[in-house]
Chain A
Amino acid sequence: MLQIDDLQVSVEDRPILKGLTLKVNAGEVHAIMGPNGSGKSTLAAVLAGREGYVHTGGAVHYRGQDLLALAPEERAREGVFLGFQYPVEIPGVNNVYLLKASLNAQRRHRGEPELDAFEFLRLVCEQMAFMGIPEEFLRRSVNEGFSGGEKKRNEILQMLILQPRLAILDEIDSGLDIDALKVVSRGIEALRSPDRAMILVTHYQRLLDYVTPDFVHVLAGGRIVRSGGKELARELEAEGYGAVVAGAGA
């Protein structure tokens, strides 16, 4: 589904990604781990299409298309979802309103009929119950007044409603206590499917206790320096990034 070849990206003339290669197939869950500043969030941002990142080399293909040539909303409508590390607040814009507009934009793009307010509300309430989100959410503006944990749960809720093909979760576990982490993980697991690929960008191994990855990659110095199965995560936990990165000669 996703093929990244030797991707090079700079931010303000500073190279951040220096030749990243990665292949993700449908049905797979990949974890990308690495020390601070290694380029993890940059990768997520570039895949989603955020401005400020200069593509200086390499290519990214998503389901056969040149992903970097598409506008952010086009990528979204093709099924790319980014779970933000720091979800932003949008006062005055109702949570449900935004979600409905998003879902219908994607449905329109796929030639599917749009959901009306009643159908949509039913769908939202179902998923809200599953994620343990209180009814009050329906009346609030996007992320306004949400705690960090609530914002992350909102990201997962959106993912459940939008049903993306490629979900990229940027440090979804940061700022979560154990209970919140369990709920979030439950949401992620509910989305695991043979048609869907997921990339979990994370620092810590803890999330991976709840969501078992098929592949783990270590990103350091702008490149993937080592790949392995879920045991690699435990190795990192035990020995730290330094050892693993040094061992890979990065």
Chain B
Amino acid sequence: MASSKDDLERLLKREYVAGFITDIEADTVPPGLDESVIRLISAKKEEPAFLLEWRLAAYRHWLTLREPRWAKVAYPPIDYQAISYYSAPKSGADAPQSLDEVDPKLLETYEKLGIPLHERARLAGVAVDAVFDSVSVATTFKEKLREAGVIFCSFSEAVREHPELVRQYLGSVVPHTDNFYAALNAAVFTDGSFVYVPPGVRCPMELSTYFRINAANTGQFERTLIIADAGSHVSYLEGCTAPMRDENQLHAAVVELVALEDATIKYSTVQNWYPGDEQGRGGIYNFVTKRGDCRGDRAKITWTQVETGSAITWKYPSCILRGAGSVGEFYSVATTNNHQQADTGTKMIHIGPNTRSTIVSKGISARHGQQTYRGLVKVLPSAEGARNHTQCDSLLMGDRCGAHTVPYIEVKNPSAQVEHEATTSRIGEDQLFYCRQRGISAEDAVNMIVNGFCKDVFQVLPMEFAVEAQKLLSVSLEGAVG
């Protein structure tokens, strides 16, 4: 790394004097992380000075931190110097030129998930231009949004077009000091989504990453910022049901949501990152910090998630209930099959008066899967009249998987009402046989029982996700009984 580092520094110093870098020959930075890499990333993206400084502050802070090991997940140590922190989007020449060149097993999964033919090509990374005109579809939506005054673009674009908004809100919900991975993300984040909804506006459609132009290869350190101004409403969908592969093993994203007075944000995630093979090798580590700030009175933030992928999932989408009468909700279905591990849950922090939070967590473990629900309900002394209801249920399929529950409840106001209910159950042989004796196949019976188990969460998913989620669950739990 030493000699390339020298080269880079020379290159950067020279270019920096001249102004922003336009054409850099090297498309990928060699593995390793230090200040010069960060300067390079920032320069490539043509970021203003404030953002570079923000990144560097985060990086310097990151150097002082130690990787957390308190979660109930086990993995070999990550070598942060072995990761490449920047690579340009793949050129069309390397991508498969048609579906014929795509791994047939991947195509089989698309088939099972009922993904439309034209979408399969895009998902498989086939050179898009060769397949269909994606630009016109996205353009129509951009028009509608523009009419409503909604800003929905890539984070990079937002930095260029709306730097004042970015500067105002970035890091205000998840500061770089928050945790090890948030610090790393703040230093090296690549791209993500930016949404701003003006006061009183109800976003005319659900925003999906599918329609965000330029999503190539940005999954590794994604950074998303959504701001719903007073009285506005927005629903955002992240991810897709198709299994996504990536050479990059570590995914440390940060999502910040800000809801002002009377605003509502619904953030839905369907995560199906590659979970590794049957021995658990090669899967994605999904270490994510997601947090929503109900900054204004009567603001409401809802997190819904269906997590079926990744070798390791480590995330706690949370809500800070600052505004009076604000509401936070968390609905989650997480499955761990084979050797997947998940330590996931939420944090509801009640600060303002008359705040409410609802937590519904459904965990399904199969084969050797290990899953932990870790939740925090915190009621500060100022949170007069706080209400929380938590329901966390585990379903075990087989006798080698595990489900663990670690609820933290800290209440410092005597007027609070906090309820916690938890159940653990197995899909029993008796139940399966009952269904089969009525003419239902074993697979359909499992799906029926699992869907019944997840019903409370599926009911709050945006419609398109709800249908996909059911299919996704049945595919990801395939063969788990037996």
Contact = CB atoms under 8 A, between A and B. Distances in A.
B439 A109 contact: yes
B433 to A, nearest CB: 6
Contacts of A105: 438-441, 444
B439 A90 contact: no
B448 A98 contact: yes
Contact of A158 (B429, B431, B438, B441): B438
Interface stretch (B51-59, B196-204, B449-457, B463-471): B449-457
A84 interface: yes
Nearest to A99: B438
Contacts of B441: 73, 105
A50 B449 contact: no
A101 B453 contact: no
Interface residues of B, number: 22
B435 interface: yes
Given A88-B430, A98-B448, A49 B439 contact: no
B174 to A, nearest CB: 35
A73 B455 contact: no
Contact of B431 (A49, A88, A102, A106): A88
A106 B448 CA distance: 17
B449 A92 contact: yes
Counting chain A CB atoms within 10 Å of each CB, the highest count among B429, B430, B437 belongs to B437
A91 B448 CA distance: 10
B437 A76 contact: yes
B427 to A, nearest CB: 9
A10 B134 CA distance: 64
Nearest to A80: B437
Given A90-B431, A91-B425, A76 B436 contact: yes
B438 A93 contact: no
A74 B84 CA distance: 55
Given A88-B431, A92-B452, A71 B436 contact: yes
A103 B433 CA distance: 16
Contact of A76 (B439, B449, B453): B439
Contacts of B435: 90, 98, 102
B448 A73 contact: no
B448 A72 contact: no
A96 to B, nearest CB: 13
A92 B438 contact: no
A214 B442 CA distance: 36
Contacts of A73: 436-437, 439-442
A82 interface: yes
24 contacts: A48-B433, A51-B433, A72-B436, A73-B437, A73-B441, A76-B438, A76-B439, A81-B437, A82-B437, A84-B437, A88-B428, A88-B431, A90-B449, A91-B453, A92-B451, A92-B453, A97-B448, A98-B440, A101-B438, A103-B439, A105-B438, A105-B441, A105-B444, A109-B439
Across the A-B interface, the 3 shortest Cβ-Cβ residue pairs: A92-B452, A102-B438, A76-B439
Interface of B: 425, 428-431, 433-442, 444, 448-449, 451-453, 455
